[in-house]
Structure 1
Amino acid sequence: MSASPPTTGPVLHERLLARLRLRHLKLIDALAAQAHLRRAAEAVHISQPAATQLLRELEDLLGLALFERHARGMRITEAGRVLARHARVAIEALASTAEALAQHAAGQQRPLRVGAILAALSLVRPALPALRAQHPMLRLAIEEASIERLLAGLQGGALDLVLLRQPATVPEGCRFEALRPDRMVVLAGAGHPWTGRKRLRLRDLSGARWVLPPPHFAVRQALDAAFAREAAPPLVHAIQVLVPELLPTVLAEAGVLAPVPQSALDRLDGALVQVLPLDLQAPLEPLGMLYRRSDAEGPLAPLVAFLSTQAAA
């Protein structure tokens, strides 16, 4: 299609509220997964001509091309990716709503849905026995996910509370409460010669190879900032490890180091790894909880109060 630029956000929002249908969202979600109109139509149980009509309606409604057609199928555009991502959030939110309503009709209380980044699991892992003791009737469903998925889940209603680092911008209608400070530490394998030193500087580790997380990770950004002050980039190890429990295997190699959040140390075997005596002045954004303000006095209140009390202890 020859798409015209979309109008302003508020006007487009009103247009979506008036004309968008759930079938549009189901189709765009299926198309993003299938990249083929016939297979997407089969996935949502409609005919291919009906799918073609729905897609045309959606692109006309938005004034944007969502897919580029080619001989072997369809290629999603950037606008299509944005819409498909939010369509998935909306579909998951509806699934959560349906589950909650079904449980309500059956006289059951649905579990509170908690999402967390890997480092923030340390906020709940040691506290679970005490939480169970204080609130034996409280039901929780805890999952790990990326920050992007957590924020989308909270805003879309699929999650009730998320545990993560303090975001640069708190979503509208939400509250972030810091629970624990954090900082970057550097690990080496047990018995490494550097672990016996009383004090190290980053320049002393110039020959080391580093197991680095992706650039958007907070601990990677802290390490990059430290190396920038030394005007020398780190040597990168060939293996990237994002699961703390796998780090000792890689750190057993000579001269291999890894930056990790201090909050992740409880997931590592202290007999296999050691923290190097580096004073890098590398604080990370604090770990805490983010939730919708409107939920603060509802079923979520006992969990929020418990986590606040645990942090203050």
Structure 2
Amino acid sequence: MRIRATVAAASGALALSAFVVPAAHAADAPSYKTEAVKALSASGKSAFTASTAADLGVSFSDFKIASAIKVGTTNHVSTTVTYTLTHGANYDISSDDFANGPFIYKGSSPETADNVLFGDAPADCTATSSTTATCTGLIDIYPGDDELINSDAGTWSGGALAIQYSTNDSTVQSGLGATNVQRYSKLTVNASPEPVKKGKTITVTGKLSRANWEDHEYHGYTNQSVALQFRKAGSSTYTTLKTIKSDSTGYLKTTTTASVDGYYRYSFAGTSTTPAVNATGDFVDVQ
């Protein structure tokens, strides 16, 4: 099980509630991740001031990350981050003594973040000039190791850091981008009876659920608007028939009138904390 902890930096309390390497992966985790944590919780200096950035003469720009990261209950999830690294002309970023990579944090700043997530390994960089490089790194998330709690869902900010192992010097830059870390959603549907006579009533049931990062199960998403949609056989387009709300367990139930053969599905538009999802259409033969 993953350990959550709080570290105090010299500049103030730095709440990094999810930066410890998961115990299940600690044996083979690269040293980069440990050093990245140290950069964010640097003892004796602030890892978030311009003076730190001057130590390495490194800056980051053109930070790009997915608009949303969908995380389930147990499976490892990673998302790619790209950015430009700018450094002094006399600095060798290919040295084994140097590493850099992205991170994301939940909160207004890294200093007060509720949670911070890194990549397992440093970014790969390709020089584009004597002072710039394009870099690609990952954010790695292990929900099964308790890296997230439900309140973590929503908007996270992005940053990047660079470290020099031999001197413990580092550059940390925050506020470079944003992403939504979302609780993965599921949606089911069942239309009956099948077959049905034209003009008769069809009952359509289903359930909307989403990942719970604290007990690693899926639970009903309550009081959410969900559209009942229909696609006529031979067509590729769904049309919304009505919108209903999920009940206290995420359960969905409504009725409609049979007219022609086709597929019924429920469709959820999503929220900032939970991604959109469509149920697989259920075919009804109308006789």
- The TM-score, its normalising length taken from structure 1, stands at 0.26
Q: Which of the two has greater helix per residue?
A: 1
Q: Which of the two has greater strand per residue?
A: 2
- The TM-score, its normalising length taken from structure 2, stands at 0.28
